[in-house]
Amino acid sequence: MDYLQGLNPEQKAAVQQIKGPVMIIAGAGSGKTRVITYRVAHLLRSGVDSFNILVLTFTNKAAKEMRERINHIVGPEAKNIWMGTFHSVFSKILRVEADKLGYPNNFTIYDTDDSKSVIRAILKEMQLDDKLYSQNFVYNRISAAKNNLVGWQEYQNNEQIQADDFSSGRGQMGKIYEMYAQRCYRAGAMDFDDLLFKTNELLKRYPEVLNKYQHKFKYLMVDEYQDTNFSQYLIVKRLAAVNENICVVGDDAQSIYAFRGANIQNILNFEKDYPDLKVFKLEQNYRSTQNIVNVANSIIANNKDQLKKNVFSEKESGDKIKVMRAFSDNEEGKLVADAIMQQRSTTGEKWNDYAILYRTNAQSRSMEEALRKNGIPYKIYGGLSFYQRKEIKDLIAYFRLTFNPNDEEALKRVINYPKRGIGDTTVDRIIVAADKNNLTPFEVILQAPRYVEKAPASLNAFAAMIQSFQVITKNLSAYEAALHIAQHSGLLKDLYEDKSVEGLNRYENIQELLNGIKEFSEREDIEEKGLDIFMQDVALLTNDDNDKNKDADTVSLMTIHSSKGLEFANVHVVGLEENLFPSQMSLNARSDLEEERRLFYVAVTRAERKLTISYATSRFKFGTLINCEPSRFLDEIDAKYLELDFTAKPAPSSSFGNERTAWTRKTDGQQDTYSKPKAATSAPVKTTSILAKAHVPSPGFKPSDTSNLQVGMEVEHERFGFGKVINLEGNKPDIKATIFFKEIGQKQLLLKFAKLSIVNG
């Protein structure tokens, strides 16, 4: 039991509670991974069979790290644990049980690009308006339906869904969904959402299969439970129903993936499913200084929907959190770059000790420009992953076609690459013939003279090549099979002959892929090493498994969503402005606003030693310079933890002409006082509180009934100040008012949310 000695009392209690339903609320930096690891090790040390343990994670990286730690404690027995992402574990089950659902065991897993390609083809065939039926909208609509366990039949029979679609002019969505599902089925393919959707179908339709896995997985653990969607929730609940030895680990304060379908209610209401639940709260933060933890606590305290906890740190107090004001987004980038440069020259830290986090990818531009001008090396995360590059996807398409010749998307991708005289017209004829005769495109190609008018001889050669790959690869290792396909498909030769810089890079990428497959072939920790198994691993990589290696000595730039699970010594959170952070899309519902606040909480808790927050008072948006208001989240931070650094020079009067009013909030309970900032000097302006407040509401300010608001009326807004209505558009209850405010200029507001006081009617 020596591995228990390094745990604090609450961690130790959570690790040792192995029977019954358990919920571990793990605050940021509280040693969550250690607790999960040690709890699994403790299960094994307590006599639980490793084959009876299921651990579900959200990234392959997390699963790999946990398995390595468990192996270090208990040895090779760790290999037998079913541990991995939801998608990887359930795809493994589906490959065993797929025939029950009418799928081949070697089904292809479509990535997002594959799915959108299928949708694009369907939209083209149906001749639908791409403005109403954009491929992104259709893809997201189908994905949301599957995550809520709504199949195409249920979709078409649901009166509410149909009413919504027809009212928006998208009455063909049900038919598109049906055709998409049928195309995937015909191709022997499942998309990412299907891996959960079909698992639910399997467990619901086949009680004997459910019973089999309920008794196999006697102990379940789920990491990051706050990120589960309805489909994942239901699978876990079904599997745990017999033994109820289920342990979920997570932090409701870090639930930030509602846009992916994550439902925070799963963790908030977990006790309703398991009344005998034992709850453990990991509240000691081992990552951040006291000041950073206190700031995070003051932010999240404003959320109503949460599991209360008192996160604390026993580290040093640390620096106060610096708040920087810039007068433009470009100047914000300069301030951040200068601050990093200055701090690094003083402390001697590495570049990779710094991270810049932002709400949207578009914000990276001003940061990049400033870093480049200062000669600071940086890397943007969340860009194109290795496996999304064209040449990699081309070779992988050949692999896919070898193991599943019915894979229509793979076939369309490589049937004429490298060029072999099979034009688009021929491909279209193949697809039409396949649809008409209820065949797969590859089956049509095998009988090309019968089905395809003017079929080129190269079709026979292509089919013969794929069939030869199927035969030859059966007796080769993953690396030998991959190399054979790369060479004999002509792909390797085509890239080698391209002597341009881009061609050389593409060729080197293919070599890197082959090197990776060779490394896979030589691994000793896995039994099955075929190319088909490697393909499964690649298909199940998540966005979060992309390279986030901090070994490279560069400043890290990424969205806050991408930063979850990471930590840095010094963090700059930029763009703290209304309508940017919180996002404008989040301001119509409290649940959305609370998710934005949780996102800010995640950003703050990435910092270990120093946290800096910045905002701009003007920013370019769609080519237009707009006035920006400081984020409401800044007002929610307890002033005693902040240090203002307002050294930025005001923008020229020709740009905006309004100088914002800094305000100082006293913390002794007295009335707030406001004062105009002094002219900028070389020394930072430091106050005890925060920021620019554009307007002080009039005494007794109260929103008016605006149902009869008219152009020309003067109004007051509690933050924007006094203004005049210059335009009204739309119909009740969604009337939009364009108002020119004296202090900040023109704004468009939705009246039902605006809370305006009519001053002069």
Do 674 and 661 meet the contact criterion of CB atoms below 8 Å apart?
yes
> Measuring CA to CA, which residue among 399, 402, 397, 435 is closest to residue 416?
397
State the Cα–Cα distance between residues 282 and 32, nearest whole angstrom: 8
Cβ atoms within 10 A of the Cβ of 342, count?
Answer: 10
Of the residues 223, 394, 407, 594, only one is catalytic, namely 223
Phi and psi at residue 378, to the nearest 5°: -145, 165
29 is in an annotated binding site: yes
- Is residue 27 annotated as involved in ligand binding? yes
> Any binding-site annotation on 473?
no
Catalytic residue, candidates 287, 606, 609, 610: 606
Task: List the catalytic residue out of 111, 114, 224, 332.
Answer: 224
Beta bridge partners of 663: 674
Residue 64 labeled ligand binder: no
Strands 756-760 and 624-627: unpaired
Residue 392 makes CB contacts below 8 A (sequence gap 6+) with: 386, 509, 510, 513
Give, in degrees to the nearest 5, the angle at Cα 345 between 341 and 349: 95
Catalytic status, residue 528:
no
Type of residue found at 387: Y
Strand-pairing partners, residue 426, are: none
216 part of the active site: no
Q: For residue 284, indicate whether it is catalytic.
A: no
C-alpha separations of 29 from 105, 233, 293, 550, 605 in Å = 41, 25, 10, 18, 8
Q: Active site includes 232?
A: no
CA 209 – CA 189 distance, rounded (Å): 21
- The yes-or-no answer on residue 33 being catalytic is yes
Judge whether 144 is annotated as a binding position. Answer: no
- Which of the following is catalytic: 17, 33, 214, 467? 33
CA 285 to chain centre: 24
Length of the chain as a residue count = 761
| Catalytic pick among 32, 170, 506, 632 | 32
Q: Write the DSSP string, 387-407.
A: GGSHHHHHHHHHHHHHH-TT-
Those residues with Cβ within 8 angstroms of residue 39's Cβ, 6 or more apart along the chain or in another chain = 14, 15, 18, 221, 247
Active site annotation includes 719:
no
31 is in an annotated binding site: yes
Residue type, 668: D
Q: Position 380: which residue type?
A: I
* Active-site entry in 254, 402, 559, 687: 254
Position 521, amino acid: S
Known binding residues for ATP: 26-33
User: Which of the residues are catalytic?
Assistant: 32-33, 223-224, 254, 606
What residue numbers does the annotated binding site cover? 26-33
